[in-house]
Amino acid sequence: MLWVLCGGAVLAQTAAPPAVLVADEIIVTPDRRLIASGSVEAFQGQTRMTAQAIEYNAETETLTITGPITIDSGDGIVILASQAELSRDLQNGLLTGARLVLNEQLQLAAVQMNRVGGRYTQLYKTAATSCRVCEDDPRPPLWQIRAKRVVHDELERQLYFDEALLYWRNIPIFYLPRLRMPDPSLDRANGFLFPEIRSSTLLGTGAKVPYFIKLGDHRDLTLTPYLSNKTKTLEFRYRQAFRRGRIAFEGALSRDDLQPDDQRGYLFGVGEFDLGRDFRLQFDVEVISDDAYLADYGYSGKDRLDSEVRVSRARRDEYIRLSYINVKTLRDDENDDFLPSDIVEALYERRFFPIATGGEFRIAATARTHLRQSSNPGDTDGDGVADGRDVTRLNLEADWMRTGFVGGLQVTSQLGFAADAFDIKEDAAFDGSDSEISPRASVTLRYPMVRRDAGGVTQVIEPMVQLAWVGGNGLDIPNDESTFVEFDEGNLLTLSRFPAPDRRERGWSAAIGATWARFDPDGWSANLTIGQILREEAQVDITRSSGLGGLQSDYLLAGQLKFDGGLAITGRGLFDDQFDVAKAEFRGSWRNDRLDLGSSYVWLDEDIDEDRPDPISELSFDGSYKIDRFWTADLDWRYDLTEGRAATARAGIAYSNECVRVAASVTRRFADSTTVEPSTNLGFTVSLRGFATEAGGQSQVRSCGKQAK
């Protein structure tokens, strides 16, 4: 039935097309032709059409439409035309002077367009582009694909081009007799992705041409041949989603001139699964053929690989973890046979809130074993570690804590113990077992003070003091895990600052410190922390540069300053009474709508105990600048002040608008290694937007008018 709205009148027509028609004037002729004119709108299902005039012939069940015509299917497909002759359901027919717009991204202009079965749209003498075309701009779009015929399959959401020729402006670039591309509404489809041109001093000049394979609704595979005059490489990425998890693997296989007799490659993979009852299974796989492969091809900058399988559960008052970790080093000065390469660890933590005593009760139990591949109980490389040492340890910690207030003074009491048991194998000096129970107690006092000025400025000052005692004499075991000790504002009030329980701080100690913070309503804020540790007796196995040696530690100073304009400065350092600095780091950044700058400086004093015979002084810089709406430049640079040379440098520039993204970059690695050589890499990519294969991200749309010229 057809409902016709004419001014305020409603007319019912039987034996008419299943549509709703709205127009300024409607005439029904004696030969059953319906003629609508003036702001005509027709609705059929989700399809909406506007035109200047429509004539419906009941005998042939066809619509003759006078434009300008707009047909919106409601699923991201819009057709524009000057004249049309269509079936009454708008699914079949012929349109002239037509334009097909897909997902508001890709437009195809044609001399003639055919609609077939509501599924296929055929366009003849077609120009396709995702660039904005302005009527007052005589220049052609940045890019377009001209074809003799284009077929759009609405069901499969595919575009088929016959005799396709890619133009950059008016310059023909590339010809293909047949071309298939997914339309913008399709997220995943088989086909080629956009290539990348790479030039490397190690690998020569070549191209990467990715091909995406949809293996189903929940899995896919991307194969990327990388060919140059010095390498033949096949990169791959596999992804799959399950009802309760997901996995992703990526890797590559190579034959190159760097190691012509070897098959080279790598495999990285991650996965996560929900096992039920809040348990999660996670894994991380990292495997390579040789130590230099990742650096030679620029896949990763890691110098140690760690593969892990973990089962864990985290709840509000409980944490459980069981994990296996395999470690492989890529560093020149390390040998995998002498490192703890296989690690198994189980951890259980729980907290309770007993009503009888109040406060909080915490327990933590850990079982860990790590094995070295070597079975030599001696020290052949002179680093003080038995080459084959294997260690198994069991640790149990239990603590009761309670916080109360005396006026404005916050008092936190802690009472507990730690039980440690170690079993040492394949170490000539420590072969055997040892165990100990270490009681501990502490009292922490804080006195927060708040001041609010008339102008709305808020200042908070909190002095703090902790008096602590840890019993026991220490175990007669090697220092296998606590070789690097840190002192910062995060562990100022802890009872032991060793990273692992094979070492614990013993005896009486006092931590003294204060924090200050200022918040200004004008938009800037600042905070500062200062602290120091005092001890009754010096601790063994404390590294010199940690700042915790002797009876009096170095002073810890850390702070941050942030401004509303985007400027932020953060710093942390350790210095003694003579203001000799053991460690220091600073970070400054500034961000606004166009500029994002950051710079860092790190200083580490020499320390033989931390395997650092020379000091480290390094400066780094990173930044990006938005030149205009379309152009962006970025720069990364790292300089070794000790060696007096750059370590890495990278510069890039990119142009991006609604229809294209062009990016170029140059990267230089100044390697100082026997396995990794210095190299320079050049990269160039071009991505045409408007297809499902385009790179993601936001883009700026060019405006018509004077800005387009």
- At 330, phi and psi to the nearest 5? -115, 5
Say how many Å lie between the first and final Cα of the chain, rounded: 51
pLDDT at 10 over 50: no
CATH topology of domain 2-155: lipopolysaccharide transport protein A fold (2.60.450)
Average pLDDT of the segment spanning 648-659: 92
Separation CA 492–CA 367 (nearest Å): 27
Average pLDDT of the segment spanning 364-392: 91
User: In sequence order, what DSSP letters do the residues of 538-593 get, joined into one string?
Assistant: PPTT--GGGT--SSBPPEEEEEEEE-TTSEEEEEEEEE-TT--EEEEEEEEEEE-S
Q: For position 546, what pLDDT does the model report?
A: 92
Q: For position 1, what pLDDT does the model report?
A: 30
Which DSSP symbol is given to 702? P
Q: For position 659, what pLDDT does the model report?
A: 87
Q: How are beta strands 20-23 and 2-6 bridged, if at all?
A: parallel
Identify the H or E element spanning 410: strand 409-425
Separation CA 552–CA 578 (nearest Å): 13
Q: For position 675, what pLDDT does the model report?
A: 64
Separation CA 78–CA 74 (nearest Å): 8
pLDDT at 695 over 70: no
Nearest 10 degrees: CA dihedral of 86, 88, 89, 93? -20
Local confidence band at 9 (pLDDT 50, 70, 90 cut-offs): very low
Q: For position 700, what pLDDT does the model report?
A: 64
Residue bearing the bigger pLDDT, 116 or 697: 116
Local confidence band at 673 (pLDDT 50, 70, 90 cut-offs): low
* CB 556 within 8 Å of CB 492: yes
The answer to whether the bond into 68 is cis (omega within 30° of 0) is yes
pLDDT digits (tens, 9 = 90+) for 538-565: 998 898 899 999 999 999 999 999 998 8
Separation CA 225–CA 160 (nearest Å): 24
Average pLDDT of the segment spanning 267-294: 96
Q: For position 193, what pLDDT does the model report?
A: 80
Separation CA 193–CA 213 (nearest Å): 10
Lookup: tokens for 231:
């390498």
Place of tokens 């997901």: 246
pLDDT at 12 over 60: no
pLDDT digits (tens, 9 = 90+) for 211-256: 999 999 899 999 999 999 999 999 999 999 999 999 999 999 999 9
Name the nearest CA neighbour of 367 among 397, 339, 338, 403: 397
Provide the 3-class DSSP secondary structure of residue 337: helix
pLDDT above 90 covers a percentage of the chain that reads: 62
Lookup: tokens for 228:
């140059």
CA 316 to chain centre: 27
Neighbouring C-beta atoms of residue 183, cutoff 10 Å = 24
Q: How are beta strands 264-276 and 211-216 bridged, if at all?
A: unpaired
Average pLDDT of the segment spanning 326-347: 93
Local confidence band at 391 (pLDDT 50, 70, 90 cut-offs): very high
Average pLDDT of the segment spanning 524-537: 96
Average pLDDT of the segment spanning 312-330: 97
Name the nearest CA neighbour of 396 among 430, 341, 435, 442: 435
Average pLDDT of the segment spanning 331-355: 93
Average pLDDT of the segment spanning 10-29: 65
pLDDT above 70 covers a percentage of the chain that reads: 94
Q: Please give, one letter per residue, the 3-state secondary structure of 582-648.
A: EEEEEEEEEECCCEEEEEEEEEECCEHHHCECCCEEEEEEEEEEECCCCEEEEEEEEEECCCCEEEE
Name the nearest CA neighbour of 235 among 218, 249, 217, 215: 249
Q: For position 674, what pLDDT does the model report?
A: 60
pLDDT at 160 over 50: yes
Q: For position 161, what pLDDT does the model report?
A: 94
Separation CA 570–CA 589 (nearest Å): 9
pLDDT at 289 over 80: yes
Neighbouring C-beta atoms of residue 63, cutoff 10 Å = 24
Q: For position 174, what pLDDT does the model report?
A: 85
Q: For position 4, what pLDDT does the model report?
A: 44
Separation CA 33–CA 36 (nearest Å): 10
Separation CA 639–CA 658 (nearest Å): 37
Separation CA 462–CA 528 (nearest Å): 11
Identify the H or E element spanning 295: helix 293-297
Place of tokens 């089962």: 311
Average pLDDT of the segment spanning 201-215: 91
Provide the 3-class DSSP secondary structure of residue 294: helix
- State the greatest distance between any 2 C-alpha atoms of the chain, in Å, as a whole number: 113
Name the nearest CA neighbour of 699 among 612, 614, 632, 600: 632
Lookup: tokens for 566:
């985007």
Task: Name the average pLDDT for the chain.
Answer: 89
Lookup: tokens for 31:
């030969």
Q: For position 517, what pLDDT does the model report?
A: 97
